[in-house]
Amino acid sequence: MKNKVRHVLGISGGKDSAALAIYLFNKYPQLDIEYYTCDTGKELEATYQLIKNLEIYLGKKIILLEAANKSHEDPFDHFLKLYGGYLPSSGSRWCTRKLKLDPFEKWVGDDPVISYVGIRGDESREGYISKKTNIQSIFPFRKNIWSEDVISKLLKNEQISNMANWYALTGAGKLPRILEIVEEPISGKFTQNEKLDALLDLDTRAFNQMVFEYLKTTHYPLSNCNEFELTDNEEVLIREDIFRVLRDSGVGVPQYYEKVSFEVNGQKGEYARSRSGCYFCFFQQKIEWVWLYEQHPEKFKLAMEYEKDGYTWMQDERLEDIIRPDRIRQIKEDQIKKASKANNKKSSYLIDILDESDGEGCASCFI
């Protein structure tokens, strides 16, 4: 007997997951999606406001998953104490595991789950997502909506004849050309990514239907479904689409993404915050710390209070050093230089510039 599959979408407080909720709500109203959010207790007010706006738009409660819900402290502070004051960092990201992934995995238990993730079509990463086998991630904003593990198992050379059979079930129009590509083995000259792109470019729907046929033969959660609406998804959404979806819906763009002007040594520049997540997140760049100091001084002061006993948010600099006037000036000048270099390149979005030097963020916090 097939198990009932749950469809879930995590609202991180960032723009991409919010836009994904709106997008799926409008495009696939038949999907019964459970929305959830994991609160760290350390978000900016704009994040909480976004969640309230979304609840109104979706007409549905966004379930609040709180780690350490029996504690009298905020979830972050509770775990920080357990870790002896050891602040998280990109190398030791206990916060994401304890505050986001653990509560999520506990909430879904062993149920088969489809988890929709808002990684955009202009990003090339999977993010930091749950790897439990009963949780299958789907990426509706990308041309390739499937996760890396599904693709690498499916495109193995040993699957070539099976793939041809699964394609035959899809009724694809360009089958002879598709089969030529299917039959070409992956090698040093024809990589997995090239094969994937070639198949997607020829007929995205047929590719998705073929993947769905493959999944029926596996233990992935989608093997429990008779159909999957998103196999018809051919749209790719990039950064500007995300802003459009948020604005058009009336849900709005969180205030911290909006550019704020500054002037330094007679030169004009702009800053903003590039992502959602805790106000003190160690992923933020120096210019974002300056933004926090100048736009939310009370939060900056709180962030400074965490820096004690030798623990700091950044490896190379303490917060009390970053706010010296000469240091702020220097960081702003660097930002102006970076922005002018980026202006000569592709994007006019400030957050593209801020994003550039970031490491891999986590799907649970920033998407």
Contact positions vs ligand SF4 (CB under 6 A): 40, 88, 93, 95-96, 99, 277-278, 281, 283, 362, 365
Least Å distance between CB 78 and ligand SF4?
A: 13
**Among all residues, whose Cβ is closest to ligand SF4?**
277
Cβ neighbourhood burial of 243 (10 Å; 0-12, 13-18, 19+)? middle
Q: Cβ closer to ligand SF4: 24 or 99? A: 99
CB nearer to ligand SF4: give 195 or 273: 273
**Closer residue to ligand SF4, CB minimum distance, 265 or 357:** 357
Between 96 and 335, CB nearer to ligand SF4: 96
User: Of 295 and 330, which has the nearer Cβ to ligand SF4?
Assistant: 295
Cβ-defined contacts of 73-80 (< 8 Å, 24+): 73/41, 74/40, 74/41, 74/42, 75/39, 75/40, 75/41, 75/99, 76/40, 76/41, 76/42, 76/278, 77/41, 80/306
Token readout for 275 is: 């992502």
The least distance separating ligand SF4 from the CB of residue 10, rounded to whole angstroms, comes to 12
Which of 269/277 has CB closer to ligand SF4?
A: 277
The helix (run of H) or strand (run of E) holding residue 262 is strand 260-264
3-state SS class at 37: strand
- Token code pair at residue 153: 């198992």
User: Nearest approach, Cβ of 238 to ligand SF4 (angstroms)?
Assistant: 23
Edge-to-edge strands, sheet with 33-38: 63-65, 33-38, 6-10, 113-116, 135-138
**Least separation, in Å, of the C-beta of 350 and ligand SF4?**
20
| Shortest distance (Å) from residue 43 CB to ligand SF4 | 8
For β-strands 113-116 and 6-10, DSSP reports them as parallel
In angstroms, what is the minimal distance from the CB of 291 to ligand SF4?
16
Read off the tokens for 192.
Answer: 């997995």
Paired sense of beta strands 260-264 and 267-271, if any: antiparallel
- Coil vs helix vs strand at 2: coil
Q: What is the distance between the alpha carbons of residues 241 and 88, in angstroms, rounded to a whole number?
A: 33
Closest CB 102 distance from ligand SF4, rounded Å: 12
Choose between 195 and 296: whose C-beta lies nearer to ligand SF4.
296
- Comparing CB distances to ligand SF4, the nearer of 95 and 215 is 95
**What is the helix (H) or strand (E) element at residue 356, kind and residue range?**
helix 350-356
**9/365 with CB nearer ligand SF4:** 365
CB 353 to ligand SF4: min, Å: 20
DSSP H helices in the chain: 15-27, 45-58, 75-82, 94-95, 102-108, 148-154, 160-168, 175-183, 192-202, 204-215, 239-249, 286-295, 297-306, 319-322, 325-343, 350-356, 363-366
Quote the least distance from Cβ 103 to ligand SF4, whole Å. Answer: 12
